[in-house]
Structure 1
Amino acid sequence: MSDAKDVFRVQNYYPQFAHCSLPATFAFLREPEISALVNGEYTGRNAESAIRRISEAMRPFRGRHFVSTDFAAPTDSPRFLSSKRGAVVSAQSAWYSLAGSAKIRALAAAGDVQCVCIRKFREFDVPREFRLFVKNGELVAMSQRFLTRHFRRLVRRQEDYWNVAKMFFEEIRSSLPVDTLAIDIYITCKRKVIVVDINPWGEPTDPLMFRDWNREVTEPLGCLLVPPPCMISGDVHVSF
């Protein structure tokens, strides 16, 4: 019997969204290889077997790659946290990134890793990454994906990006695996939308500028952005 969260495994939703996603291939792991991942093994028969499987799946793409598993990427691995931003150049470096991630090892231990997803690495312009919020089959909001700062140029494009998202949503509405979820997208300079990931509604998915998964929404909120920093003037006294 399948789990309700199985629809959010990348290998399950990708076929429906391949036309609007980055090209991807999949390396399905065997149980001994998953055990090697759980144990963080970089070498050994099972690790080497997994590396060969990943290498085969990498063949369609040249250059740098981006790897993830069913539900997540190894964003806590040293390679991801470095200036490489998760890019790997070989199956071995891909496996090292996965096995070096506490998050991926925990998912594997919980039975939530079946495969490795390989995509050609692409640099994204951070201000054009967004999360769409779909509730009961309706697009209710979109949020700036990374909340590290306020981008003034986003304010000028705020309404335009919201309109792009609405048009895109109408195109994919019938393909959604469930009617309440969150979709990570990237809007290119030519206003093309790329699906990056599909996530369940609620924790552990971050609500970002939507703030609260339980908030009541009576009408669409539009594109939600990090506000500009506040400036304090006058006679200001600070004490500690």
Structure 2
Amino acid sequence: MFGTYFLVLVAAGAGTVDSLTHGDVGRGASVTAPGLMVAAIILFMGAVSGAHLNPLVSVAFALRGDFPWRRVPGYVLAQLLGAILASLTLIAVFGPHGGNGETVPGPAFTDSQALVVEALLTMGLVSTILGSASGAQNIGSFSAIAVGAYIILAGLWASPVSGASMNPARTVGPDLVRGDFTHTWVYLLGPLSGMLLAVGSAYLLRGPGGGPTGTKAAQGTPNSEQPIQRHPNPDNRL
């Protein structure tokens, strides 16, 4: 919830602030900020929860055998709650501006075109996440750079088409707050299709998941294997 809150705060907040300042943020910064935020979140809390931030990532890891299905509903609920709280925060601070972070097809594109683009973008995103979590890659914390860079690159070329959401929580949270679900189906069906394609591709490329590296990346390690050593303070100083 904490991670998705900050992701949506940045992703949706960029459009809100851009609207209020009449373009001071710009499209380049608007798509770069979420990617940098995701990289930061992976680095600072990936070991706690796996830093999924996206319901489809939780499902993808579960399909790969790296994440227990019993934890998926709680993760999805937390992600949606984080997105909703971020949207409410933006409205409370700035009021209703810039569509309050909605993701909708661009004016020159149809829902069908946006759906296909979201499917392709999500296939690449989930492939990057699953691949960088694989023990075969052995890149560790550098996965944050890979995932963050992919989000930026996807937004740079495709955000005018669909907003480059790739994340149902990112879209559904603001839609729930706004009460407008006109295009929500695009951002559910498209990313879901892309996620399934990515999981299928991962199976073809690397076989089934369930290895120790992928499992650790997916689930995090909130409880350290080594107990924290607390040393007494002989001087009684804070």
Specify the TM-score bucket, using the shorter chain as the normaliser. Answer: under 0.3
Greater relative contact order structure (CA < 8 Å, 6+ sep): 2
TM-score, structure 2 as length reference: 0.25
Larger proportion of helix: 2
Larger strand share, 1 or 2: 1
Greater Rg over alpha carbons, structure:
1
